[in-house]
Amino acid sequence: MTPVCLNCGTMMKCTKTGARLFECKAPMMPEMPPTDQIGNIRAVWAADVFTCPDCRAEVATHFGAGPLAEEFRPDSIKQAYDAYPEKAFFVCRP
């Protein structure tokens, strides 16, 4: 199912597949590299990013059945980041 932008009423377009969504316990500190903040990450999810062609709003959707990595395996979180740093998105869920 394709997301629809509620601002524009336009069908969004998939602009990135296999994005890595890093679910954080607290906001990331921009002055530190993500690999130094592994303890702040709960889980890593694969998702697709859709963008509105009109207003450029973005959403992440089409998550997999389970996380790619979880906090009890910090090595897998680092591997998920190192494999695709250009596909990394960080979100805070308190």
Query: Tell me, what's the pLDDT at 70?
Result: 93
C-beta of residue 81 within 8 angstroms of C-beta of residue 35: yes
Q: What SS3 class is residue 34?
A: helix
- What is the C-alpha separation between 27 and 79, in angstroms, rounded? 21
Measured at the alpha carbon of residue 2, what is the angle toward residues 56 and 85, in degrees to the nearest 5?
60
Per-domain boundaries in the chain:
4-92
pLDDT, one tens digit for every residue, the chain (94 residues): 899 999 999 999 999 999 999 999 888 888 888 888 888 899 999 999 999 999 999 999 998 889 999 999 989 999 999 998 889 999 887 6
C-beta of residue 59 within 8 angstroms of C-beta of residue 25: no
